[in-house]
Structure formats: C-alpha cells, structure tokens
C-alpha cells in the first residue's frame, strides 16, 4: 500500500523555504500568522448565522459600499494577527482608506502585506462561499524605519507570495510563493490545514465563463461579441460554454482554476475602470493563476505589469485559462482595430 504523506500547511511552507539556503524563515512565519487569522475568521464565518453578527454596521468603506460586521471582524482580525509578528513594515486593506502602520518596535520587518479581508461579502447572508485574499511584497523603503506608501504601490510582478482562503463547503487555504500553487483544507476537528491540492495546474483551455451578464448593455462591443461566440455551438472548441457566476471573485476564480474557465470583470460605460481592486484582488489572483499555468490581464496589459498609482485603484480583469484569456483579448483588440479603420 502506498504511504500517504500527511502534510500540514506549516510543514509545507518550511519545506518549500528550506530549498532556498538564503531564506531566513521570515516568510514562513508570516504565512503561518496568516493561517492563524484564517482559522479564526473561518470559525466566525461558520457561526455567523448563530450569533447576532449579521446585518449592516451603518458604516461605509472607502468605496462607498455598506460594510457588514463580518468585513469589519475579518479586517480587524487580520491586523491583530499580523501587526506584532515583526516581519512586516506596513499593511493595507481594502477596508481602510490609508496604509496601516505597524506599531513601533515591530515595524522594521522586510515584508509588506495587502489584503481583502472578506471578498464576496454580499453573499454572507446566503451561506454562499466568501474568502480572504492576501498579497506579500518585499519592502523597498529603507529598512530602519516604518514602511511607506511606496512599499505598497509596487507592480504585481514584485509579489513574493500571494494566496486566498475560501470559507465554503470546507475552508481551503491556497498559496503560492512563486513555486507552484498549493491548496490545504482545514480539518475542523483538530484545526490544521492539510495538503489536499498539490501543485494545482489549470487546463490550457476551459469551458466555463463567469461574468455578471446583467451589465451586458454597458459592455465593450468586442466583449459582447465574445460572449455571444461562447454561446454558439461548435463541438471542436467545446462551445457552448457553461455560465457560472457566484459573485465572490475568489470563489469564481478558484472553481475555474480547478475545472478550467475564464472569469471577467470588465470596464463598462458605467464603470470605466471596472469594479475590482488591483492591489487587493486582481494582483494576488493574477500571480496565483500564472503560477497555475493560466493568464490574467486588463484586456490589453498583463495584470502583473501594471504600475499602480493609488492604493484603491480599480482595474478591468480577464483571468483564467491561457487560451480563453487570449481569445477575449483578441475579440476586443480586433473590434478596436476595425473601428479605427
Ligand atoms: P468585496 O466583497 O470584497 O467588495 O468584493 C465583491 C466583488 C467580487 O468578489 C465579486 O466578483 C464582485 O464584487 C461581484 O460584483 P457584482 O455584484 O457587480 O457582479
Ligand atoms: Mn473583494
Ligand atoms: Mn472585501
């Protein structure tokens, strides 16, 4: 009988880092702290229906959206779990307008953490999968003082690690440190993340598309044509595609990465920059999908090449299997070329 290796997240991170003799173990500690925050948030999400935690706080986040109590809880939990570890110099969260300073004496760490504490929060009340997304950079400011805005505004290609936790039918922690994508499922009985998805690779081409079709009227004409093309019948290219849209980008992209597909949140005539945030959502998911063999862009430029200008900037996103993303880019490009001629 084959011996099954029992691999915890902690052990996996240490084994990965040991491959690099120059590694100090700091990144491992950071990921470990993140997994602790994930367990606490997971517990709170699971009991959300039982305690009086649902409903609006009455506050609005920096995007003018209603903030639910679990968003606030997750945001605060991330800060609590991360700001005294000594490995960070600064943080930024989707739920905070400014950068988050690390208390003095702990703020000379060499890493920078950006996160979306709860993604898909409009799904909380309906027991639909939601998640936490994180992104880690090396600091670029001098390492004898606190981190700065400049540390946070780095292009996605500078990420040293990124990941997400989905609170769904089970809780799963997926991460990359630039050496493949690995997924760990939380065993609730003894509270450990166990390796369940080793070296995830997404297919070269999928047969699922995910987009909010309610916005059809406002889309780029090339995108309209692409979606209609996906709905046509052609056995060879496995069309028509299936449509799947949860409304939590982290869960939509996770499913598509495993099964094969494309997720899109485009710009449209009402939202010229799209809806999703470059630093908290698009860059970490783009790093992960590239590590899984997929592709991510804003329709023209590789996501990870975009130079951020502001902390909360939005971007259109096309992310998933390489051939599918190339195809939507081609539809939009050809339409624009035709228009010019
Ligand atoms: P958040 O809950 O962090 O604000 O993110 C919600 C995002 C994303 O997860 C999802 O893909 C998208 O909003 C859904 O938007 P629509 O309702 O416009 O489709
Ligand atoms: Mn989000
Ligand atoms: Mn959020």
DSSP state of 107: T
Residues near ion ligand 2 (Cβ under 5 Å): 116, 119
Atom 19 of ligand 1, nearest CA residue = 212
Residue 3 lies in a domain: no
Atom 1 of ligand 1, nearest CA residue = 119
Confidence of residue 50 (pLDDT cuts 50, 70, 90): low
Instruction: Please give the Cα distance from 47 to 167 (Å, whole number).
Output: 12
For 84, the token pair is: 């005294």
- A 10 A CB-CB count for 272 gives 9
Instruction: Please give the Cα distance from 105 to 217 (Å, whole number).
Output: 53
Q: Provide the greatest CA pair distance for the chain.
A: 66
Choosing from 56, 65, 69, 119 the residue with most ligand 1 atoms within 8 A of its CB, the one to mutate for a pocket test is 119
Looking at residue 270, what is its pLDDT? 96
Atom 16 of ligand 1, nearest CA residue = 247
State residue 135 phi and psi, 5-degree precision: -145, 130
Residues 159 and 254 in one domain: no
Residues 153 and 186 in one domain: yes
CATH number of the domain to which 40 belongs: 3.30.540.10
Q: Side-chain half-sphere of 168: how many Cα atoms within 13 Å?
A: 18
Residue 229 lies in a domain: yes
pLDDT of 265-322, one tens digit each? 999 999 999 999 999 999 999 999 999 999 999 999 999 999 999 999 999 999 999 9
State residue 108 phi and psi, 5-degree precision: -110, 20
pTM reported for the whole predicted model: 0.94
**Ligand 1 environment, Cβ below 6 A:** 94, 116, 119-121, 212, 247-249, 265, 275
Residues 63 and 178 in one domain: yes
In this structure, are residues 77 and 40 in contact, taking their beta carbons and an 8 Å threshold? yes
Atom 12 of ligand 1, nearest CA residue = 247
Give the number of residues written for the chain.
341
Residues 193 and 212 in one domain: no
Radius of gyration of the chain (CA): 20
75 alpha carbon, closest ligand: 3
């Amino acid at each position: 009988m084959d011996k099954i290796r029992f691999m915890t997240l902690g052990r996996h991170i240490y084994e990965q880092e040991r491959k690099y003799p120059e590694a100090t173990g700091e990144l491992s500690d950071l990921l470990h702290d993140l997994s602790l925050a994930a367990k606490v948030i997971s517990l709170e999400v699971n009991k959300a229906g039982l305690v009086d935690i649902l409903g609006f706080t009455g506050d609005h986040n920096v995007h003018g959206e209603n903030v639910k109590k679990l968003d606030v809880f997750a945001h605060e939990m991330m800060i609590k779990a991360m700001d005294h570890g000594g490995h960070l110099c600064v943080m930024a969260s989707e739920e905070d307008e400014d950068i988050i300073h690390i208390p003095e004496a702990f703020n000379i760490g060499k890493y920078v953490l950006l996160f979306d504490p709860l993604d898909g929060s409009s799904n909380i009340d309906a027991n639909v999968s939601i998640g936490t997304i994180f992104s880690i950079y090396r600091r670029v400011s001098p390492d004898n003082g606190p981190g700065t805005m400049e540390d946070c505004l780095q292009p996605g290609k500078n990420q040293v690690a990124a990941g997400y936790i989905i609170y769904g039918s089970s809780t799963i922690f997926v991460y990359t440190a630039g050496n493949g994508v690995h997924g760990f499922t939380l065993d609730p009985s003894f509270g450990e993340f166990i390796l369940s998805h080793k070296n995830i690779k997404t297919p070269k081409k999928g047969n699922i598309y995910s987009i909010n079709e309610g916005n059809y009227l406002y889309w780029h004409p090339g995108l309209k044509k692409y979606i209609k093309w996906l709905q046509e019948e052609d056995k060879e290219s496995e069309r028509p595609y299936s449509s799947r849209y949860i409304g939590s980008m982290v869960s939509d992209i996770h499913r598509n990465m495993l099964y094969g597909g494309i997720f899109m949140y485009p710009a449209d005539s009402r939202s010229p920059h799209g809806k999703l945030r470059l630093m908290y959502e698009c860059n970490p998911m783009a790093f992960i999908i590239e590590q899984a063999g997929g592709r991510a862009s804003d329709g023209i430029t590789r996501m990870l090449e975009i130079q951020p200008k502001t902390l909360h900037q939005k971007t259109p996103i096309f992310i998933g299997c390489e051939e599918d993303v190339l195809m939507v880019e081609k539809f939009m490009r050809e339409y624009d070329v035709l228009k010019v001629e």
